[in-house]
Amino acid sequence: MGTMTNREMRTFPLEFRVDAETKKIVGHAAVFNKIDGPEWFRERIAPGAFADSLKSDDVRALFNHDPNYVLGRNKADTLFIEEDEVGLRMEIDPPDTQFARDLLTSIARGDISQASFAFTTIDASWDDVDGQEVRTLKKVRLYDVSPVTYPFYEATDVSLRKAQWEKEKEKQEATGKPVRTTQVRRLRLAMRQNA
């Protein structure tokens, strides 16, 4: 399943809703080809990034990425996830439990309105886009999709990204490729913010 230090999470301010008729949570946990992220780190997700994982991995739907609050699971047919033209679409058939009923109420009221996904990177590339370095996620292993209370994006990204940047820097130095100055600046900024 991978170690927690390799696991990353992304939160998007995407609209998702409760289907009044079926009481299912529906929406998108990720959007393709949208460059997003904090100022010092930009990223996008390529179509097909989730394809292999969706075929083989046991993915959960959790509330706030908390394994104590399981909303659904693809292997149990209570979570349906697919790539569509927008991104990673999810449809969750939540259990008839108190926490799930409370969550449905919060979503219907608009108090919970964001979705997130947890993953590890299998394949990614770096490109220059309008003078900014952008990482493109080409292939990931998906662990969970989650309705979330807060956009944890910056805080999570900084604490996990520090180790990721250090690995990338070591890899580039080992291969003899020059370390880009913008990567070094971003690494230093990440370390300062994480200190």
Top pLDDT among 54 and 15 is at: 54
Locate 20 and state its tokens: 């009044």
Domain boundaries defined on the chain = 8-151
Contact 147, 114 (CB under 8 A): yes
pLDDT in tens, 75-111: 999 999 999 998 888 899 999 999 999 998 888 888 8
170 pLDDT band (50/70/90 cuts)? low
- Other Cβ atoms less than 10 A from the Cβ of 98: the count is 8
pLDDT digits (tens, 9 = 90+) for 49-83: 999 999 999 999 999 999 999 999 999 999 999 99
Tell me which residue has tokens 């696991």.
7
The answer to pTM > 0.75 is no
What pLDDT was estimated at residue 179? 46
Is 58 strand, coil or helix? coil
